[in-house]
Amino acid sequence: MKPSPRLDDNVRFDFRDARLLCADENLQGLEIVSQVLMGFGVQQIRRASTLEEFRKALSEKSFDLVLLDWTLGGNGFSAIRWLRTSGLEPNCFVPVIVLAGHTPRSQVEDARDCGANFVIAKPLSANVLLQRILWTAQSGRMFVETDAYAGPDRRFHNQGVPVGMTGRRHNDLSGNVGEAQERNMSQDEVDDLVKPQKMAL
In a domain, 5, yes or no: no
CATH of the domain at 93: 3.40.50.2300
In a domain, 10, yes or no: no
Nearest C-alpha neighbor of 135 from the set 90, 187, 172: 187
Residue 40's pLDDT band, with cuts at 50, 70 and 90, is very high
Residue percentage of the chain with pLDDT more than 90: 45
Q: Which domain range does residue 39 map to? A: 19-162+180-194
Predicted local distance difference test score (pLDDT) of residue 19? 96
Which tens digit of pLDDT belongs to each residue from 70-106? 999 888 899 999 999 999 999 999 999 999 988 888 8
Q: Residue 171: pLDDT above 70?
A: no
pLDDT mean over 30-47: 94
Residue 66's pLDDT band, with cuts at 50, 70 and 90, is very high
In a domain, 199, yes or no: no
In a domain, 172, yes or no: no
Predicted local distance difference test score (pLDDT) of residue 176? 43
**38-52, 86-100, 123-137: least confidently modelled range:** 123-137
In a domain, 8, yes or no: no
How many structural domains comprise the chain? 1
Amino acid symbol at 14: D
DSSP H helices in 40-186: 51-60, 76-85, 105-114, 126-138
Residue 176's alpha-carbon distances to 8, 29, 120, 152, 183, in angstroms, are 35, 22, 19, 33, 8
- Max Cα–Cα distance, the chain, nearest Å: 45
In a domain, 12, yes or no: no
